[in-house]
Structure 1
């Protein structure tokens, strides 16, 4: 099969995926873009060589898709914290005997210049540190794990603000775990330093919690805004997977 006929599966609803898709299309590949949902708007290239699908897949799902669509290689550009996606996609590619390539975001640089950063390895550890430090918390970690923060902070008498996507699923996840609507900040990145600073001021946060999603995830803007606001920032390190 020639490169012009080859079809590549690109995984992920990220800016990294768009970069890979654009490059592959320019090289003459056909591309199937697979991502969890269309909640995040991406500027995908307009090309007859590009197809898109939505929905979560486990290993068996990826294997079925690879065989059905005659995929020749897999490019994994999923979010750094999408651990199960990375594992499932790599296993599926191995089972189908096709190449698998993972897109890795560069490590954070220059963190030793800041004294207001605390790094942890998990959401549970971050929530525990928040209770130890005390004060109002602004969580910018999405809605999937927000419940563990609300549970811990509520018991400790602390206030939690959550910044999440402006879609019903994300907002409902916050409401269902007990975060009132006036403590839910809805929006879509990328957020500037000024945006982050405004949200910190609005919430009165002493602590900002974020995941290390790299430069593409706006981590440096959060770090700078937290420093200007005089509050701590807890960074959850990327999974080793």
Structure 2
């Protein structure tokens, strides 16, 4: 019986954990999450060990060797390119198989695509309207360089101490910080834009699980939507394909 290690950084990681629990394979699997918040959202998962904390390549390699996993599942975020590279390298050094869960990308008309956070920040500096950042807390430091950032920006981030601290460190006043767990409906997104008097929404290509279309559709309502593209095209497996593979173990 192969033991399974899931690196979870997305809602799909949670769904895979629930799938294994329902399949009666919870004791066969462990989960790695980077933050305390990642552990909290797994509080309904029973029977699995959860390792909390950011791991570098060497720590991942040591964990795989020590625990004797036969299959590694990379269900980290589409934009966590460095983490995915570390997982792949650690698995290669231990000789274990790794499968990458990849979210399918979605597209829509009327969106402005950029290749990086800095490019998005440059576009924002060329305008004066207010904007909603839904790109995560880690990028806020780069966005803080945008002209009149603290007066124009509203950040919607995960409800964790780390995310709130990142917002405050970036110079945002509390009244311009929203700490909530998504995904959010189109109506919720529109209501947020209206409440704060915003004209632009900045997001990532997070796919259906990340509520991408409910943000992209704001372009149809007359809002400007800037999308930061994924680091590179990834090959891998869909959620259903990964589930089917796990079912056979």
Contact 1:143–1:174 under 8 Å retained in 2: yes
Q: Is 1:237 matched up with 2:229?
A: yes
Partner of 1:151, secondary structure, is coil
Deviation at 1:190?
Answer: 1.8
Contact 1:131–1:153 under 8 Å retained in 2: yes
Deviation at 1:192?
Answer: 1.1
Q: Is 1:131 matched up with 2:130?
A: no
1:105-144 maps to which residues of 2 (within 5 A)? Answer: 105-109=103-107, 111=108, 114-115=109-110, 117-144=111-138
Partner of 1:80, secondary structure, is coil
Mapped to 2, the partners of 1:21 and 1:65 lie a distance apart of 19
Contact 1:18–1:44 under 8 Å retained in 2: no
Question: What's the counterpart of residue 214 of structure 2?
Answer: 221
Question: What's the counterpart of residue 79 of structure 1?
Answer: 77
* Structure with higher RCO (Cα < 8 A, 6+ apart): 2
Encode CA deviations 1:77-103: one digit per residue, 9 max, x unaligned.
001111111000000000000101000
Deviation at 1:178?
Answer: 1.1
Deviation at 1:24?
Answer: 4.2
Mapped to 2, the partners of 1:28 and 1:173 lie a distance apart of 37
Count how many residue pairs are aligned between Structure 1 and Structure 2.
230
Question: What's the counterpart of residue 159 of structure 1?
Answer: 152
Gaps of 5+ in 2: 235-249
Mapped to 2, the partners of 1:85 and 1:122 lie a distance apart of 18
Contact 1:13–1:42 under 8 Å retained in 2: no
In structure 2, relative to structure 1, the CA distance for the partners of 1:142 and 1:28 (3 Å cut) is: closer
Mapped to 2, the partners of 1:150 and 1:80 lie a distance apart of 23
Gaps of 5+ in 1: none
Partner of 1:189, secondary structure, is coil
Mapped to 2, the partners of 1:105 and 1:201 lie a distance apart of 30
Encode CA deviations 1:149-183: one digit per residue, 9 max, x unaligned.
1222227x961111112222211211112111111
Equivalent of 1:182 in 175, 185, 196: 175
Contact 2:18–2:45 under 8 Å retained in 1: no
Higher fraction of helix: 2
In structure 2, relative to structure 1, the CA distance for the partners of 1:87 and 1:234 (3 Å cut) is: same
Q: Is 1:19 matched up with 2:18?
A: no
Mapped to 1, the partners of 2:42 and 2:188 lie a distance apart of 22
Return the TM-score normalized by structure 2: 0.85
RMSD (Å), alpha carbons: 2.0
Mapped to 2, the partners of 1:23 and 1:169 lie a distance apart of 29
Equivalent of 1:104 in 102, 105, 109: 102
Mapped to 1, the partners of 2:147 and 2:67 lie a distance apart of 47
Mapped to 1, the partners of 2:50 and 2:152 lie a distance apart of 40
